[in-house]
Amino acid sequence: MRAAPPSRPRDPIVAIATAPGRGAVGIVRASGADLAPLIRAVCGRDALPPRQAVLLPLRAADGSVLDRGLALHFPAPHSYTGEDVLELQAHGGPVLLQLLLARCLQALPGLRLAAPGEFTERAFLNDKLDLAQAEAVADLIDASTEAAARSAARSLTGAFSDEIAALAAQTVELRTLVEATLDFPEEEIDFLEKARARERLDALHAAVGRCLGRARQGALLREGLRVVLAGQPNVGKSSLLNALAGAELAIVTPIPGTTRDRVAETIQVDGVPLHVTDTAGLRLPHEAADEVERIGIARSWEAIAGADFVLFLRDLSRRGEPAYDAADAEIAALLPAATPRLEVWNKADAAAADVPDEAMALSARTGAGLDALRRALLAQAGWQPAAEGLFIARTRHVQALREARAHLEAAQAHAAVRDAALDLLAEELRLAHRALMAITGEYGTEDLLGAIFGRFCIGK
């Protein structure tokens, strides 16, 4: 059992576990070392059969019936948290659930409201889930696409954790060989030759690289790609947003400057969420029609600064007009050099001009070229549609795998030296192992745990 962070005492906890608002069913969940007094007070019984739903009256302090619902008791350690867990399922009225919650708090001394994510945190602390699985719980709830949900489910069942554990075990085996050689130099074991350590180290490095590639894909499924549509007024940014989303989200008129503020929509392409933002048309501040447009242009640049990818939209029907081309050149010079971008020429249906090399033409009005644009966006994100066995991953997982790979590369460099410094090689292997174990929570800090579980919803 892992030690609880000092900020989270192990008192019994309770929370409403269903989403706010009215519903057919609402759940109040409690977890603690001994919930028998709570069962007697609310359910009117000395005990409930383990893991069986029992229909009974849920009673107030004066014995009156608050509601008639289901009670389920999960005795420790066979529960989600590893502690005693009681779930009370009532009708999903907000007032009723608050009354039931207040009754629980009144009935059991020391019972307190759960902090966000505290039920899952206790599952982690009681070794019911590792840290990657615990994060997958939140990712499954938050999944915005079917592919993300399926990948989160794979992580929750332990697919990601099992792969990390296998890599960690291989790292430990190599560490054992190196440190045995350090401890028994008189044996004159030629470590690098007889144990085939260099080949095993190379294979481990390649395996971590493959895992990192899948983790990047999983992180993309979870986080998506922030795409900003940028360009001069009236180039068709709003039309393109509507075409990509398949809905009339943004107002489209022939009047330049129609879009005054950012309009955002998340669309799904091959299961990957793309967070597309339409922005006000870009032009110099003194050219804006009024203060509202100036504010809109400023917000456009803010969106561009935070983008993963910029679609620089241009009007093919106006290509060759000196003033228009000069304004486009000014905008292109101001776009962040570090942010990837794709030059897209819109209104191909209304123009006869040729498209420049390395640019893309489309018509937001007719839909011509949209499929090619979607493929280009996925390629930019690094998505591989044929990837199999993906698991959901987070930025910290990707960073940890990169760190492990870097330490293994340093270990390879030491191993390549004729008179290898085995103590340095052993240290790099130790650091690689530590980076891998941080993914599943074997190594971590209390601040990290607080940041992870603090983002969960209350009751989970």
Residue 188 pLDDT level (bands cut at 50, 70, 90): very low
Q: Which range is most confident: 164-173, 186-195, 300-309? A: 164-173
pTM here is: 0.74
Q: What is the pLDDT of residues 312-355, one digit of tens each?
A: 988 888 888 898 888 888 888 888 888 888 888 888 887 666 77
CA pair distance 197, 205, nearest whole angstrom: 12
Ranges assigned E (strand) in 20-122: 23-32, 54-59, 65-74, 84-92, 112-113
For residue 112, with 0-12 CB atoms within 10 Å meaning exposed, 13-18 middle and 19 or more buried, which class applies?
Answer: middle
Domain with CATH 3.40.50.300 in the chain: 224-381
Residue 454 pLDDT level (bands cut at 50, 70, 90): low
CA pair distance 279, 241, nearest whole angstrom: 10
CA pair distance 379, 312, nearest whole angstrom: 17
CA pair distance 231, 312, nearest whole angstrom: 6
Adjacency order of strands within the sheet including 309-315: 263-269, 272-278, 225-230, 309-315, 341-346, 360-361
Give the pLDDT of residue 216: 85
The pairs formed by 287-292 with CB atoms below 8 angstroms and a separation of 24 or more are: 288/257, 289/257, 292/260
Do residues 390 and 217 lie in contact, with contact meaning Cβ atoms separated by under 8 Å? yes
Coil, helix or strand at residue 460: coil
Give the pLDDT of residue 431: 94
Closest CA to 318 of 351, 364, 367: 351
Closest CA to 407 of 430, 438, 423: 430
Q: What is the mean pLDDT of the chain?
A: 84
Adjacency order of strands within the sheet including 84-92: 54-59, 65-74, 84-92, 23-32, 13-16, 112-113
Distances from the Cα of 10 to the Cα of 31, 112, 340, angstroms? 10, 10, 48
CA pair distance 392, 142, nearest whole angstrom: 12
Which residues partner with 361 through β-bridges? 345
Closest CA to 308 of 367, 377, 215, 387: 377
| 146-220+394-441 under CATH 3.40.50.300, yes or no | no
CATH class of 13-128: alpha beta
Q: What is the dihedral of CA 359, 364, 366, 372, to 10 degrees?
A: 40
Distances from the Cα of 173 to the Cα of 35, 133, 397, angstroms? 45, 25, 23
Which residues partner with 342 through β-bridges? 311
Do residues 406 and 209 lie in contact, with contact meaning Cβ atoms separated by under 8 Å? no
Q: What is the pLDDT of residues 411-445, one digit of tens each?
A: 999 888 866 678 888 899 999 999 999 999 876 55
Coil, helix or strand at residue 32: strand
CA pair distance 297, 285, nearest whole angstrom: 8
CA pair distance 344, 380, nearest whole angstrom: 14
77 cis-preceded (ω within 30 degrees of 0): yes
Coil, helix or strand at residue 46: coil
Give the pLDDT of residue 428: 93
Domain with CATH 1.20.120.430 in the chain: 146-220+394-441
DSSP-assigned letter for residue 148:
H
- Higher pLDDT pick, 70 / 196: 70
CA pair distance 457, 224, nearest whole angstrom: 21
Do residues 347 and 315 lie in contact, with contact meaning Cβ atoms separated by under 8 Å? yes
pLDDT > 90 fraction of the chain, expressed in percent and rounded: 37
Q: What is the pLDDT of residues 81-93, one digit of tens each?
A: 999 999 999 999 9
Q: Does residue 13 carry a pLDDT above 90?
A: yes
In DSSP notation, 198-211 reads: HHHHHHHHHHHHHH
CATH architecture assigned to 224-381: 3-Layer(aba) Sandwich (3.40)
